[in-house]
């Protein structure tokens, strides 16, 4: 009895009212805890503030020029006035065509790699290549596009060549993000399918894709912003400083035409043309940003829609 009393973790000599009091160590831990929380919060705010600042500053600076005609008019007087229609339409063409190429190839390749391919040296090399290609600077893709599409394939400097260059640039990232989305679908679902005799394709079509489609779309949409914003890959392969087209005509460009692009136009009027009114580049930037945000918003709507349907 007496020994058990002395080794008891709750010695009777202690006044119950003093139990559970803060010790010096606890005080220090509480301080560290607060500090950590504050640090993380600060970093989050640091990330948000510049974004808000940039967007509001852009809109403030661009306000005098923003109107529907700014989007639908050709630039005039050496790009010192008028609108940005050819650049706006050019960007839509470039981004649209590049995604039309890279999204299906990327998604299907990722499905193969994740659902069909066995782990062996061949798939390991492909995976390694995908990861490394995703990290190649865009100017390198530009040179590749110039050599492969413009010169070797004989497409010349054209929307097609520029779009394909952008597609090559976005492809590895789409593969990587799609693979990640597919990998997030629990294996248990696949096992359930296999064991009632579903083929791999039935498993993919009925279970894997419906459960990963939102992740896949997110990956693709992120590449819209990237393709729309890049200047280097299109500069060598199909984008021009200036080209007037029919106002408001969405079929004004052909596949083998050269085109303007928003990112390139922004670069040009900011650095290459003297005496451009200040609002013009800001207006261009707002339209570029707005287009990307609009596409993102559409993608979110599409995702919500697809998720709400149980089958598709």
Which residues would be at the binding site for another protein (CB under 8 A)?
A: 118-119, 186, 188-189, 191-199, 202, 206-207, 211, 310-311
Q: Residue 148 and residue 141: Cα distance in Å, rounded?
A: 10
Shortest reach from residue 121's CB to another protein, in Å: 13
d(CA 252, CA 246): 6
Q: Of 77 and 311, which CB lies nearer to another protein in the complex structure?
A: 311
Instruction: Write the DSSP assignment of 240-264 as a string of letters.
Output: -S-----TT-TT---TTS-B--HHH
Which residue(s) pair with 76 in the sheet?
Answer: 81
105 versus 207: smaller Cβ distance to another protein:
207
Query: CB 265 → another protein: shortest distance, Å?
Result: 46
In the complex, what is the shortest distance from the CB of residue 304 to another protein, in angstroms, rounded to a whole number? 17
CA separation for the pair 219, 170 (Å, rounded): 10
Residue-wise burial string across 285-296, b where 16 or more C-beta atoms lie within 10 A, e elsewhere: bbbbbebbeebe
| CA distances (Å), origin 116, targets 110, 120, 183 | 10, 12, 12
- Which of 49, 194 has the CB closer to another protein? 194
The nearest distance, CB 200 to another protein, in angstroms, is 9
What's the min distance (Å) between Cβ of 213 and another protein? Answer: 12
Two tokens at 127? 């995976």
Residue number, 44 or 199, with CB nearest to another protein = 199
115 vs 257, which CB is nearer to another protein?
Answer: 115
Pick the closer one to another protein by CB: 40 or 194: 194
Least distance from C-beta 42 to another protein, angstroms? 39
Q: Where are the alpha helices (DSSP H) in the chain?
A: 2-7, 24-62, 68-72, 85-111, 121-134, 138-145, 159-183, 187-194, 200-203, 209-229, 232-235, 262-271, 279-308
């Amino acid at each position: 009895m007496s020994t058990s009393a002395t080794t008891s973790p709750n010695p009777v000599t202690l006044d119950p009212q003093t139990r559970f009091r803060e010790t010096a160590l606890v005080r220090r831990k509480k301080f560290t805890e607060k500090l950590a929380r504050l640090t993380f919060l600060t970093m989050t705010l640091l990330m948000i503030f510049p974004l808000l600042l940039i967007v509001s500053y852009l809109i403030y600076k661009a306000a005098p020029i923003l109107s529907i005609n700014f989007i639908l008019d050709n630039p005039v007087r050496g790009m010192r006035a008028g609108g940005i229609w050819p650049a706006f339409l050019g960007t839509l063409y470039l981004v649209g065509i590049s995604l039309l190429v890279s999204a299906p190839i990327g998604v299907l390749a990722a499905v193969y790699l994740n659902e069909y391919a066995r782990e062996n040296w061949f798939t390991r090399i492909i995976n390694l290549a995908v990861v490394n290609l995703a990290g190649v600077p865009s100017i390198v893709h530009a040179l590749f596009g110039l050599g492969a599409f413009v010169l070797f394939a004989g497409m010349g400097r054209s929307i097609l060549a520029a779009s394909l260059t952008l597609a090559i640039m976005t492809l590895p990232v789409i593969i990587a993000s799609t693979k990640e989305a597919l990998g997030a679908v629990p294996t248990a679902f696949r096992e359930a399918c296999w064991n009632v005799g579903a083929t791999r394709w039935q498993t993919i079509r009925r279970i894997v894709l419906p459960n990963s489609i939102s992740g896949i779309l997110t990956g693709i949409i992120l590449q819209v912003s990237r393709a729309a914003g890049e200047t280097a890959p299109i500069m060598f392969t199909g984008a021009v400083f200036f080209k007037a087209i029919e106002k408001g005509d969405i079929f004004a460009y052909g596949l083998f035409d050269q085109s303007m692009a928003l990112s390139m136009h922004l670069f040009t009027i900011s650095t290459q043309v003297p005496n451009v009114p200040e609002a013009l580049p800001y207006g261009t930037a707002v339209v570029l940003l707005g287009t990307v945000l609009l596409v993102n918003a559409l993608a979110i709507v599409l995702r919500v829609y697809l998720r709400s349907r149980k089958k598709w």
